[in-house]
Amino acid sequence: MKNLIGKFEKVFINENVLESELAKRFQKLFSKEQIQVIQSEPYPESKGTLSAREFDRGKKQIHLTEFKGSFFKRCPGSKPGLACCNYYVLNLGLQCDMNCSYCYLQSFINTPVLTIYTNIDQALDELKEMADKGAFAQRLRIGTGETIDSLSLDELTLYSKKLIHFFKDYPNWRLEFKTKSNKVAQFLNEEHAGNVIVSWSINPQNIISQEEHGTATLNERLDAAARCLERGFQIAFHIDPMIWHPEWQESYASLVDELHRRFRPEQIPYFSLGSLRFQPEQRHMMRERFGMKSLVTQGEMFAGKDGKLRYDADLRQEMYQFVLGRFRALDPTWKIFLCMETPESWLGTYQAPPRRVKEIAELFQPITI
Amino acid sequence: MQIQLISQCIRDLDFSPTKPWPKTLPGIAWGQICVAGFAQNTVVNVATHSEPQPQTEEQAKEFAQVMADAHSHFSLRELAQLRQRLGQHLKMAEMIFTHLLICQGLRNSETLLEILDKLPQLPVEFQNWCEARDLGARELSIIKCFSEVSGLAPLALTIAQLGASRAHGVQLLELGGELLLMGHTWQDAKPDTGTSEAWLKKLESQRRPQTHARDQQKQEALSSLPWPEFLHTRLLRQGDKASLEVKFQFSTLEEFQKKNAGLMRVQAAFENLQSEGTP
């Protein structure tokens, strides 16, 4: 916890949320010198597209404020032209304290601080209202890791506890934490309804070391997953984004082997696979922040159907088939799906659209809210 | 408002505007500072205050507005020059420049300022090329990655000398800039011929060597198929997919059936290729 607090230079707290539970907790955890009470937005001059320097500074400064608007949204993968896995997102903050070279927040964020919303109770009210309107019976997957890592700051916010407690009353829904940290101790003793999935975005250790700065090592992530499993939480993994490098086959083969060594297919509801992709304008920020020695900035990217830059379609298919083949060779019952991919990629990899792949069809059934 | 001799004014803000000032009109001054028509003999002083140069935010705003009205549009090159000169000669430079950008519909962002600071360090020919092609800051963002802009100078100069189109020039700058940042030398990256199209192809293949090799392999494999003579085929890369384009012409059903039969004969050879694992 000390290390985590030490990462931040400053905490801005909006005056109108000073009495919130979260703000009170932060006032206890951080020193008076670190905290600044403000009436409006921090750095009002830094609106719009941020410079690399402003983006970097934003990772070291927290802003506690209220979210005004609707917390609950569909995952951005639910777009025409991409096969969607019915994932919904609950955004409880914006920005991340870790620093992955490929992070999509680099093209998404226009606020120069790491924002954490204090009104989580309002988010839970929104979910309750939706349940009351009939969504209670739907098999929704709701994730909190879209615009902020679900758990890397959880020791500070303890939001996981509130969410797990809330989801106890909604056993048809699944709450999904998505993280690159190993911060799980704070919620392991919480009672839950067996509908909480703690998921890790993973990569081979050489990619973690080179591209996922400030994140937990692969071993730390897998250890944390094992601890969650022991306490009855479901776990999942996202091998995403797969990053091409000269030794990619060896690296990803050893990652699959390690997963197979430590876990069994019936313990893991699904794996998702995805390859490197980003909005074209993001390349400017990545180039400035990580230089051209990064495997991500060096990537041979082309505009895909959805406008994002991706590897050549044949190469993507080769990478997916390789990983899928490795899993299948070890045990054909591993459940694996492609994240944010085109129907062509599905056909190339599985020779079938996702709803016709037996192990994962359930994730792709259309639902209405 | 009064007319005075330009010799009574300071002309340090002359940022070499591209658009010539009408010969028949006097220049414009704000206090003692000439803001437009730097080569005229007389100027009209439009300041509503008696200070020789802006001293307050309100005056800075007024000054910026006068400049914006007089010149209507500034290119990046002009903004870069003006920013330098304002900084050297006026106390309220930063505030004036911020308001000038607002008048131009631009935001005073760190990104823009960094480009404006680095652009004048590149060859004048390139600055003029940027101006003629109306480039924006975003299209020049590779400049920010160079701590020593001089490293980019030969590339920038060659783009200008080739008279590359806007679209080609932007791609050449980005691909060439990335290659230099990746450790390639200018000797590797410079054009072999005198056209921007050929140079672009060269830089594309250097920047994406794996894909280039795969495409070539695909092209060779497809060329080895027994294509009938009447067919025109080529490998076409569209975004993240490389696929084969096949073209033939016909005017009667009989002709179509004949050519289609010829095309179908390629199928068996193609199936053999695929079973051998050729992409």
What ipTM did this prediction achieve? 0.85
Name which of A237, A224, A160 is nearest A192 in CA terms: A160
Find residues 211-230 of chain B whose CB sits inside 8 Å of chain A: 211, 214
Find residues 254-283 of chain A whose CB sits inside 8 Å of chain B: 281
In contact, A12 and A113? CB cutoff 8 Å: yes
Query: At residue A199, what are phi and psi to the nearest 5 degrees?
Result: -120, 150
Higher-confidence residue: A37 or A77?
Answer: A37
pLDDT for residue B225: 84
B118 in contact with A, Cβ within 8 Å: no
> Cα A225 from chain centroid?
15
In contact, A262 and A223? CB cutoff 8 Å: no
Strand pairing class (A99-100; A93-94): unpaired
Tell me the two tokens of residue A338: 């492609």
CA separation for the pair A71, A53 (Å, rounded)? 29
Burial class (CB in 10 A: 0-12, 13-18, 19+), B104: middle
> What mean pLDDT value characterizes chain A?
89
Query: By CA distance, what is A315's nearest residue in B?
Result: B211
pLDDT for residue B155: 97
Tell me the two tokens of residue B236: 């076409």
pLDDT for residue A367: 45
Tell me the two tokens of residue B73: 């549009």
Query: By CA distance, what is A307's nearest residue in B?
Result: B239
Kind plus residue range of the DSSP H or E element containing A249: helix A248-262
Name which of A8, A132, A127, A1 is nearest A58 in CA terms: A8
CA separation for the pair A176, A30 (Å, rounded)? 29
A299 in contact with B, Cβ within 8 Å: no
> Which residue spans within chain B are E strands per DSSP?
2-5, 27-30, 33-36, 42-45, 232-238, 241-247
pLDDT for residue B193: 85
CA separation for the pair A320, B247 (Å, rounded)? 33
In contact, B189 and B206? CB cutoff 8 Å: yes
Model pLDDT for residues A147-189, shown as the tens digit of each residue: 999 999 999 999 999 999 999 999 999 999 999 999 999 999 9
pLDDT for residue A357: 63
Please list the rounded mean pLDDT of every run of 10 residues in chain B (279 residues): 85 91 92 92 88 90 94 92 92 93 90 94 96 93 94 96 96 97 96 92 96 91 83 88 87 89 82 69
CA separation for the pair B15, B83 (Å, rounded)? 9
In contact, B93 and B57? CB cutoff 8 Å: no
Strand pairing class (A212-213; A99-100): antiparallel
In contact, B93 and B87? CB cutoff 8 Å: yes
pLDDT for residue A360: 56
| Spatial CB neighbours of B198, under 8 Å, sequence gap ≥ 6 | B191, B192
Q: Which residues pair with A273 in a beta bridge?
A: A239, A338
Residue keyed to tokens 């699959």: A256
Model pLDDT for residues A210-240, shown as the tens digit of each residue: 999 999 999 999 999 999 999 999 999 999 9
Tell me the two tokens of residue B198: 């050929």
CA separation for the pair B67, B88 (Å, rounded)? 17
Q: Which of B152, B240, B243, B244 to mutate to test the interface with A (most CBs of A within 10 A)?
A: B240
Strand pairing class (A212-213; A271-275): unpaired
Name which of A291, A109, A349 is nearest A336 in CA terms: A349
Higher-confidence residue: A345 or B173?
Answer: B173
Chain B residues inside the 8 Å CB shell of A314: 214, 241-242, 279
pLDDT for residue A368: 47
Q: How confident is the model at residue A342 (pLDDT cuts 50, 70, 90)?
A: low
Q: Which of B110, B182, B239 sits opposite A51 (nearest CB)?
A: B110
Q: Which of A287, A303, A316 sits opposite B239 (nearest CB)?
A: A303
In contact, B57 and B48? CB cutoff 8 Å: no
Model pLDDT for residues B82-136, shown as the tens digit of each residue: 999 999 989 899 999 999 999 998 888 899 999 999 999 999 999 999 999 999 9
Model pLDDT for residues A105-133, shown as the tens digit of each residue: 999 888 899 999 999 999 999 889 888 88
The pTM is what?
A: 0.87
Beta-carbon pairs below 8 A across chains A and B = 68
Model pLDDT for residues A276-312, shown as the tens digit of each residue: 999 999 999 999 999 999 999 999 999 998 899 999 9
Given an 8 Å threshold on Cβ–Cβ distance, is A292 in contact with B214? no
Q: How far apart are the first and last CA of chain B?
A: 76
pLDDT for residue A369: 45
pLDDT for residue A77: 56
Model pLDDT for residues A173-182, shown as the tens digit of each residue: 999 999 999 9
